[in-house]
Amino acid sequence: MNKITKLGLTALAGSLAVASAANAGSYSASGSASIGLTSVSGSQASYDANAVTSGNGWSMGNSVTFSGSGDLDNGMSLSMSFELDQGAPDGNGPFDSHSLKLGMNEMGTLTFAGHGGSTVMSNWDDKTPTASEEAWDVGDNNAAAADDGGGNNSFFYTNTFGDSINVYASYTNQYAALGNESYSDWGVSYTGVEGLTVAYAEGENKQTAGSYDEQNTMWMTYAYGPVTVGYQVSESDVQGGNTSDADAVAYSASYAVSDDLSISYSVHEFEYGNTALVDQESSGMSASYTMGSISMTAAFNQTDNVAGETGADEEGYYISMAFAF
């Protein structure tokens, strides 16, 4: 009888050990839902196909994100994330953003994004502070002069040196890049002064054969108490076609009225290399308010000379309520 009992306890201990090893990682799920209202009106000759014009454009967002992570025997960590999103045709819905991340301790972090990834230039298209949307957003205006060359099926690397220098790099192969060749970019930011962040990034995108688009951007933000200000300049230099060149300047200020309420004012100017076009100028105000898991945002923007067309003006607003669970 004692032998049987001992055998049973040994088997139970073994099964518990296996179960413990199989569940060494952590798993979580989070969800969100939102409802928004967009209205855009203007005098330009044509609108982007995705722009909501006149009237009321109601929209709804909903997604659930599943995440899992665990430690490897060599001390590194591995994590995975994927999002279920009904309105995600670009991600071959119902799956939307999904990625795999390898934490290599002092060697940094390497992420592969199957969908929903962001290159350095794309992530830094406009880093000036705002409570909601950028000044050029809401409508169908031109944004940063330098943005990206891909994002899906791409690699993203980041590392920190000395607690104040952050290095970033991304790579998208030719199959997934937006141009005719593989795309890569890099960036570096410095946070050694309290409240101050200064950053620079550049990349090269071969849009068509024999036409390289050299892009760069530089930005800074400074936070002092409840006030944060930011300034950014971006440039796109297309070899063999200076009429396609573009420059952008953005600056803004945000104010945290309280822990729950923030407001901001933003300005964005887009200058074309094509002298037949005039500068596009955008400005906007935005606000955000949070009540626990509920957040409300609003943006009111206007743009003069949309897409470089003289006298083509546009204005619009976006109001949203989001729920996190």
Q: What kind of architecture, by CATH, is found in domain 35-42+56-324? A: Beta Barrel (2.40)
Q: Which of 35-49, 96-110, 155-169, 175-189 has the lowest mean pLDDT?
A: 35-49
Which of 172, 247, 166 is CA-nearest to residue 201? 166
Looking at per-residue pLDDT, the higher value among 192 and 136 belongs to: 192
pLDDT of residue 322: 96
* pLDDT(210) > 80: no
Confidence band, pLDDT 50/70/90 cuts, at residue 55: low
pLDDT of residue 185: 92
pLDDT of residue 9: 33
* pLDDT(71) > 80: yes
Confidence band, pLDDT 50/70/90 cuts, at residue 312: confident
What's the burial of 272, exposed, middle or buried (CB within 10 Å: 0-12/13-18/19+)?
A: buried
Mean pLDDT of 1-29: 47
Mean pLDDT of 198-207: 87
pLDDT of residue 7: 36
Q: For 215, how many CA atoms within 13 A lie in the half-sphere containing its CB?
A: 29
What's the burial of 77, exposed, middle or buried (CB within 10 Å: 0-12/13-18/19+)?
A: middle
CA dihedral 207→208→212→217, nearest 10 degrees, is -10
pLDDT of residue 116: 84
Residue-averaged pLDDT of the chain: 83
Mean pLDDT of 199-207: 86
pLDDT of residue 157: 97
With a pLDDT cut of 70, the percent of the chain lying above it is 78
Element (H, E) at 13: helix 2-22
Tens-digit pLDDT profile for residues 108-167: 999 999 888 888 998 898 999 999 988 888 876 666 666 666 678 889 999 999 889 999
Confidence band, pLDDT 50/70/90 cuts, at residue 16: very low
* pLDDT(186) > 90: yes
Residue 49 vs residues 87, 122, 161: alpha-carbon distances, Å: 17, 22, 44
Handedness of CA 94, 30, 37, 231 (dihedral sign): negative
Mean pLDDT of 221-242: 90
pLDDT of residue 266: 96
Chain length of the chain: 325
* pLDDT(17) > 50: no
Contact 172, 153 (CB under 8 A): yes
Long-range CB contact pairs, 100-104, < 8 A, 24+:
102/76, 102/77, 102/78, 103/76, 103/77, 103/78, 103/79, 104/76
Among the ranges 8-22, 99-113, 128-142, 301-315, which has the highest mean pLDDT value? 99-113
Confidence band, pLDDT 50/70/90 cuts, at residue 102: very high
Residues 6 or more apart whose Cβ sits within 8 Å of residue 32: 61, 62, 63, 322, 323, 324, 325
DSSP structure class, residue 54 = S
pTM to 2 decimal places = 0.83
Residues 6 or more apart whose Cβ sits within 8 Å of residue 280: 141, 142, 269, 270, 272, 303, 304, 305, 306, 307, 308
What's the burial of 186, exposed, middle or buried (CB within 10 Å: 0-12/13-18/19+)?
A: middle
pLDDT of residue 214: 87
pLDDT of residue 91: 46
In the chain, domain spans = 35-42+56-324
- Angle ∠(306,147,52) on CA atoms, nearest 5: 40
d(CA 35, CA 118): 25
* pLDDT(22) > 60: no
